[in-house]
Structure 1
Amino acid sequence: MRTSLDPTTLAAVESHLTAADEHLARAYPGDDGSRQPVHTVYVPADRYHAGLAHEWGEQARRLLADHGGTGVLLDAVGVRADLRDVVASQVEEKLSREPVEDLRVDLEDGYGDHPDDDEDRTVLAAATALRQDVAAGTATPFLGIRFKSFERDTRARGLRTLDIFVSELAGTGELPDGLVVTLPKVTSVEQVEAMVLVCDRLEVAAGLPAGRIRFEVQIETPQAILDSTGTAMVARLVHAGAGRVSGLHYGTYDYSASLGIGAAYQSLEHPAADHAKAVMQLAVAGTGVRLSDGSTNVLPVGDGDQVRIAWANHGRLVRRSLERGYYQGWDMHPGHLPSRFAATYAFFREGFAPAAARLQAYVRKQEGAVMDEPATARALAWFLRRGLDCGALGADEVSDRAGLGPADLSRMLTPSGAES
């Protein structure tokens, strides 16, 4: 066969692209396939105590019992008839075993402003209670605090709170595996850079491995989406984190209010919210940084009709987020737990059979009605992996339907794994 490119040209191409290759590998490593919680529960720090997650589960079960049980819940959320029995069983089991996946002790808006001595005592008590939960084996899989922002007026207080929390935990044992802290109201790249510096210093002081402390960035200001130069600053925030940014969380109400949206129309499904989250989704694509949607302030309280309406609203919003690639959201009340899990489990159960069949056909190189690319195969594997992680799917049924076990799915989440 004839060719025209000589070795010198090929070497020149390799040389020219070396730096770009290195940047791509460093900045866009892809998702590591580890578990992502389906929700984050925010609890004001002065209401937090050891055993709180279990109490939320008990309150959720009582609410279910008082308002017609899982049958009424599944009607409200709109679970398909053929899935009702399995989803009902899964929700009941989840509320008993692990009602909260990710717990964030809030020392920001949910806690408010307090004298410094009071906040010092509160954050110390929170660290002590968290350590008690860890020692008792009752801690949630993911946990941490949200401290006050790095804006000028709250910066010193936020730093002190973070310092007390991390120092106390590190001084009483190993940091919990699922520990993460939340940096709210970010308005500049410099704030993320400052957070990286703080994490470095805390690790050195506590004798922790470099990179051990990771943090979420809350996107709840317009500046985080579009800066004064017209740049989508959220992408710069992710890469300024030096590998420490674990997630971007959308802040429904601060962001909406900052755009002048009236209180009655502030929602995670407002067009302004969808725009912000679409930009966030682009910013994290390929980076391994996870996304979380926001919350709803419509609570399942009051009489039976009010509770059912709230469940229906919350379940619809959870489903909407899942369909758009947001696999995590905020929950603000124990009554949100039943609708969160019912909607999540129904979503994965509905998609299970077709996803498993397509993935099996891809792996076996079978021809069918859909011809999937390696990237789509990775998405199918990721769907099944998420379903396993949250408890919607079982390892045996996935293996039976897809011909792949959990380890096989994890291997497929890398580009080379999907192509082999």
Structure 2
Amino acid sequence: MRVTLADPSALIPGFAQTHREQSALYPYRPVEWQPVHTVYVPADRFDDVTTREWGDAALELFRRHLTEADLATVLGATPGVPPGAGEDLAGAVHGRVAAKLAREPVEDLRIDFEDGYGTRPGEEDGHASAAAKAVAAMHAAGTLPRRWGLRVKSFADGDPVRAVRTLDGFLTGVTERAGRLPEGFVITFPKVLMRDYLHQFADCLDALEDGLGLGRGTLRFEIQVEAPQTVLFLDAGLVTSLRGRLAAAHFGVFDYTASCALPPHEQRLDHPACDHARHVMQTVFAGTGVELSDGSLAASPASDGGRDVRDLWRRHARLVGHSLTHGFYQGWDMHPSHLVSRYAAVYAFHLSRYGEYARRVRAWEERRDAGEGVMDEPATIKTMAAALRRADLALGTGPEEPTA
């Protein structure tokens, strides 16, 4: 064909550099396994059987208080599950939840040395050593969750040495006992009120890797977004400036809502102020490979009675569904009862539209009409294919999920 411009490349001499920067900031990554939750356990209450005890407690509540009919009621009020689908899904979800609690109740474990632990100047060293010993025992027994780690104290509290000392003692203890650092380790870095704290912490991780003989970039961390100040300095450039150490961003609902001066009864995960913060997190980290996680429900059943337990499950499932519909596929669980409603809501969310998505993707691949008035765009098909992959991994049909 005839063209007017002889050499368009001469008009955009900086393109190659810009494209390299794009590839560094927004690398293409297929959907990979991500835990559906993070379980937080205070360091002084953690030992090598904690995760199994959580699973046993959750399974006991499940067997006592959640029939398929009860589950249909719970799912009927869960966002992300189509109206009327609860009864159809209850049977499949019920069996999956029981199997999951028996096989792998905790996907991601965080040993907490921050808010859930408190300030214990004379005890923290001992608890860090005990936690390291327990982790090494779990690793040897094959019971360490696929993702695991610890939450250190915040630099914002004015004592970064305490945070680094605990991390140092813990990692030294684990590597000496286990012979290496087991796979899946991540650090939670809380209450980041100043951007510089991130780079200061990353420098500490450099030094720890050198001292422990770990490869550069082995120690990665997740930032907790717990204040409006943090939202203001989030940007995609953090991923490259932190040299790939930023693994995830986790939302902290209670500190965040308190920082916004919301009244106590409005400190809830589905408050519009929380939606805003999460949407900023999504916007900033879209395409960067940084995982996102929602926060928690700070409540447990009022009693062991069936009504109180099911009320808690309905409440928690609604919040999990809210997170899922907003594109946050992970959240925090703070009590064994939460495992039941977490897995029930997650499985129902993925199963409820799996058949429809698979049918529409097949129609697109076969270049035929999907029917029912559907006109899918390429971006929609890409999203549905990703949703199917994410569902396979969460439901236990993907290659990264252990089988029963």
Compute the TM-score of the two structures, normalised by the length of structure 1: 0.88
Equivalent residue of 1:50, what SS? coil
Task: Identify the range of structure 1 (328-337 vs 237-246) with the bigger mean alpha-carbon deviation.
Answer: 237-246
| Aligned with 2:393 (options 381, 384, 389) | 389
Cα pair distance change 1:270/1:354, threshold 3 Å: same
What's 1:166 paired with?
A: 171
Number of the residue aligned with 2:145:
140
Question: Which one of 185, 193, 196 corresponds to residue 190 of structure 1?
Answer: 196
The structural deviation recorded for 1:361 is 1.7
SS of 2:57 mapped into structure 1? helix
CA 1:316–1:152: 2 relative to 1, 3 Å: closer
Equivalent residue for 1:252? 253
CA contact 2:25–2:236 (8 Å) conserved in 1: no
Residue 348 of structure 1 deviates from its aligned partner by 0.5
Q: Is the 8 A contact 1:32 1:288 kept in 2?
A: no
Q: Which residue matches 1:33? A: 31
Deviation at 1:154, TM superposition (A): 2.7
Provide the C-alpha distance between the structure 2 equivalents of 1:171 and 1:287, rounded to a whole number of angstroms.
34
Amino acid at match of 1:5: L
Bigger shift: residues 64-73 or 27-36: 64-73
Which structure is higher in RCO with an 8 Å CA cutoff and minimum separation 6?
Answer: 2
Change in Cα spacing, 1:86 to 1:68, as seen in structure 2 (3 Å) is: closer
| Equivalent residue letter for 1:161 | T
Contact 1:73 / 1:338 at 8 angstroms: preserved in 2? no
Which residue of structure 2 aligns with residue 400 of structure 1?
none
Contact persistence 2:296–2:332 (CA under 8 A): yes
Cα distance in 2 for partners of 1:342, 1:26 equals 37
Q: CA deviation at 1:248?
A: 0.5
**Could you tell me how far apart the structure 2 residues matched to 1:57 and 1:71 are?**
22
Q: In 2, distance between residues paired with 1:109 and 1:19?
A: 44
> Do structure 1's residue 44 and structure 2's residue 65 form an aligned pair?
no
C-alpha contact (below 8 Å) 1:71/1:88 kept by paired residues: no
Distance 2:272 2:240 in 1: 27
CA distance in 2, matches of 1:298, 1:194: 35
Which 10-residue stretch deviates more, 215-224 or 148-157? 148-157
Q: Deviations over 1:83-116 (max 9, x none)?
A: 111111000000000011101000000000002x
What is residue 21 of structure 1 aligned with on the other side?
A: 19
Residues in 2 aligned to 1:71 and 1:174: alpha-carbon distance in whole angstroms:
47
- CA shift at 1:390, angstroms? 1.6
1:28 partner amino acid:
Y
Q: 1:332 to 1:70 in 2, by over 3 A?
A: farther
1:366-390 superposed Cα distances (whole Å, 9 cap, x missing partner): 2334343443333222211111112
TM-score (norm 2): 0.91
Contact map agreement 2:106 2:145 (CA 8 A) in 1: yes
Give the equivalent residue in structure 2 for 1:379: 383
* Residue of structure 2 equivalent to 1:344: 346
Q: Could you say what the CA RMSD is over the residues aligned between the two structures, in angstroms?
A: 1.8
Q: 1:77 to 1:298 in 2, by over 3 A?
A: farther
Q: 1:154 to 1:272 in 2, by over 3 A?
A: same
The verdict on how the C-alpha distance between 1:358 and 1:98 changes in structure 2, with shifts beyond 3 A counting, is same
* Match runs of 1:261-410 below 5 Å: 261-302=262-303, 303-368=305-370, 369-391=373-395, 394=397
Instruction: For 1:237 and 1:222, locate their aligned partners in 2 and report how far apart those are by CA, in whole Å.
Output: 17
Residue equivalent to 2:205: 199
Q: Percent identity?
A: 43
Q: Secondary structure at the match of 1:35?
A: coil
Residue 168 of structure 2 aligns to a residue whose secondary structure is: helix
Output aligned runs, 1:90-109, within 5 Å: 90-109=96-115
**1:335 alignment partner, SS class:** helix
More displaced, 381-390 or 33-42? 381-390
CA 1:273–1:151: 2 relative to 1, 3 Å? same
Residue of 122, 126, 130 corresponding to 1:121: 126
Q: Which residue of 1 aligns with 2:58?
A: 60
Corresponding position of 1:410: none
Contact 1:74 1:88 (8 Å CA) reproduced: no
1:152 is displaced (CA, Å) by 5.2
Aligned to 1:4: 4
The offset of 1:70, in angstroms, is 4.9
Of 55, 73, 76 in structure 1, the residue corresponding to residue 74 of structure 2 is 76
Q: Which amino acid is the alignment partner of residue 381 of structure 1?
A: A
The AA in structure 2 aligned to 1:391 is L
Q: C-alpha distance in 1, partners of 2:54/2:186? A: 21
Q: Is the 8 A contact 2:129 2:173 kept in 1?
A: yes
Q: Are 1:171 and 1:206, in contact at CA under 8 Å, matched by a contact in 2?
A: no
Mapped to 1, the partners of 2:131 and 2:94 lie a distance apart of 34
Please tell me the residue identity of whatever aligns with 1:164.
G
- Give the stretch that moved more between structures: 72-81 or 208-217: 72-81
Counting matched residue pairs gives 388
Give the residue type in structure 2 aligned to 1:335. S
Amino acid at match of 1:191: Y
Match of 1:402 in 2: none
1:252 positional shift: 0.5
What is the CA–CA distance in structure 2 between the aligned matches of 1:42 and 1:240, rounded to whole Å? 29
Can you list the C-alpha shifts for 1:71-90, whole angstroms capped at 9, x where unaligned?
42442232621211111100
Q: Which amino acid aligns with 1:162?
A: L
C-alpha distance in structure 1 between counterparts of 2:302 and 2:391, whole Å:
29
